[in-house]
Chain A
Amino acid sequence: MAYKPKPAPGSRRFSPLKFIGTVVVWLVTAFNLLVLYWLIAAAFKTPIEIFTKPFALPYTWFQRGVPFRNFEYAWNQAGFGEAVVSTVLLVGLATVVTVAISAPAAYALTRFGVRGAGGLTNVIAVGMGVPFQTVVIPLFVVLSKVHLDNIYGLFIVYVALSIPFTVFLLTGFFRSLPDELEEAAAIDGASATRTFFSVMLPLARGGLITALILNAIGLWNETLLAIVFLKDQAEFTLSRALFTFYGAASYQSEYGGLIAGVALVVLPMLLLYVVLARQIITGLTLGSGK
């Protein structure tokens, strides 16, 4: 817990800057809570309720005994049922494989004392700055030639493009570990591979979990590559399915169903966030502080 200095008596003057700041902070916080309420409430409303009584609690669908009508509509019309399965599998596997490939690389780059490792780390970090748009055209052309313009191709692309950030994040964690344990393991006769798996990986657990969470959030929300690579609706991810659903539902003025669709994409992340907020925020600050 951060230590807060107590102000000296009489030194706390009224400051207009601080006053404005406090007001703005509370306004924005209240606004965030309000829009979150609005999103969840609107997901249970009819279009008329959404537009004429935005702050009221939903009632029409409840009165008719079908409170989840909007969710059912979105689920059936947008094919979210299949999309949930695809997304969970794709994001879960891609995240695990990314970390499994990045962790040994980050370990080798930080702890082997090999000359030029620092330069290589920077080369990989530069990859974080490459916009997806710069690589997407050649990737699409080549992968569709070998018939990988589908969810399997997207999986490989997700893993490959997540590597720079993950390696960069994990090098920070491995660099901060003490040398002694590694040396002790060596003296006890553990092989280098064994040292990595049974000593260093458990020590870097915080970093690995952070890498898993941040990649999972990023890939769950990724849309551009999913639009490019997924043509078959049966393979759509949630955000990809929502993208298609948006056009159709707006056209039919199905605003309730549309907001329910948005909620279906957002709520799993909200739950994850409520459970893991502390881990996400501390992991992020550790990673960026390096």
Chain B
Amino acid sequence: MGAIAAHVGRKRRLFLPFLVPAMALYVAFLVLPTLATVVLSFTKWAGAGDTPKPNGVGNYQQLLNSEAFQFSFVNTLIYVFAGGVGTFVLAFLFTMVLRDMRGGKVVRAILFFPNIVAPVALGMFLGFVFKYQPHKQGLANFILTELGGTAQKFLAPDNVTWVVTASLIWASSGFFITILMAAVDNIPPYLYEDSDLAGASPWQKFTNITLPLTWDVIGVAGVLWTINALKIFELVFVLAGPGTYSPPNRAWTLGIFVFDRTFGSNGTPDFGAACACAVAMIVLVSVLVVALRRLMRRDALQY
């Protein structure tokens, strides 16, 4: 056993050399910039050529009174909550069906595909699908008018949030189906056999077996969803706007707000306000993730 003890000692000496490169990059490119953003959010700063001046909570007051920020905030919450509920309902429905379906793995692979398409490309592609222009209607309006309906302005600022929500549900469900299916496959099959013998309906099987036994995975998937939905940017930017310029305020998300105030081509940059919005994003993601974990933990104890 001496060899192992010596080995463990030698291994410990490698701990730092193995860890330091990753930690150094992590601290330099994630921790420090996040702190810098927090500090800069309390300054007035137009960006390059200007110097940051202390501004107290001025940027935050400005945000609260800004219509663009209010739209961004509400839209982001719509994507997180409406998109999240829709995605998980669809993913669960699909998981239950695919489990007993011949060719379920192939169908799953087809449903997963939108997840590996660049959001920019997906946005442009959906832009064609939902295009509204007399005599040059996109796929959705083409089908709608063929069926005798009237063409809709899907991408008008008032509608686009819901079109993006639906697109998001469609595009993301494959990812969550994959994760949920793996969790469902780990459930011992005899539980389902027993409940079949007892004459349980699919809904009863879902609420009494599937849901409680996949609870932890749903929690992790929910966190992943929240993180990703909160920073949604490219899809909305391309789908709601002309492409290179920011879309109308009505359609903004928090991610677009930060981009527009710093690198966007509309008006003068305002790095201070952008940093305050970025801080709002990270506070929101923290609050939502912590709340979600609380919620999931309490319910898990009931089983």
- Which among B12, B36, B121, B231 has the highest number of chain A CB atoms within 10 Å? B121
Do B178 and A105 touch (CB < 8 A)? no
Write out the residue numbers on chain B whose beta carbons fall within 8 Å of the beta carbon of A163. 22, 25-26
Say yes or no: A139-B234 contact (C-beta < 8 A), given A35-B129, A269-B116, A289-B217. Answer: no
Q: A231 to nearest B CB, angstroms?
A: 10
Q: B26 to A160, Cβ gap below 8 A?
A: yes
Mask, A246-290, CB within 8 Å of B = 1, is: 110010000100110010011001101100010011001100110
Q: Shortest Cβ distance from B205 into chain A, in angstroms?
A: 10
Query: Which one, A24, A196, A262, contacts B125 given CB within 8 A?
Result: A262
Shortest CB-to-CB span from B12 to chain A, Å, is: 6
CA distance A32 to B119 in the complex (A): 16
Contact of A186 among B4, B21, B117, B243 (CB under 8 A): B4
Q: Which residues of A contact B245 (CB under 8 A)?
A: 247
Say if the beta carbon of B70 comes within 8 Å of chain A.
no
State the Cβ distance, B176 to closest chain A Cβ, in Å.
10
Find chain B residues with CB under 8 A from A164 CB: 26, 30
Point out the residues of chain B lying under 8 angstroms from A107, CB to CB.
18
Complex CA gap A7/B234 in Å reads: 46
Q: How large is the interface on B (under 10, 10 to 19, 20 to 34, 35 or more residues)?
A: 35 or more
B22–A281 contact, CB under 8 A?
no
Query: For A234, what are the chain B residues with a Cβ–Cβ distance below 8 Å?
Result: none
Q: List 23 A-B contacts (CB under 8 A).
A: A5-B190, A6-B193, A8-B197, A18-B97, A29-B107, A42-B128, A101-B21, A107-B18, A111-B11, A114-B15, A133-B281, A136-B278, A137-B40, A138-B32, A138-B33, A164-B26, A192-B10, A192-B13, A195-B7, A224-B234, A259-B128, A266-B118, A269-B118
B residues near A (Cβ < 8 Å) are 3-4, 6-8, 10-15, 17-19, 21-23, 25-26, 28-30, 32-34, 36-37, 40, 48, 90, 93-94, 96-101, 107-114, 116-121, 124-125, 128-129, 135-139, 142, 170, 173, 175, 178-179, 181-183, 185-186, 189-190, 192-193, 196-197, 199, 201-203, 217, 220-221, 223-224, 227, 230-231, 233-234, 238, 242-245, 254-255, 258-259, 262-263, 271, 274-275, 277-279, 281-282, 285-286, 289
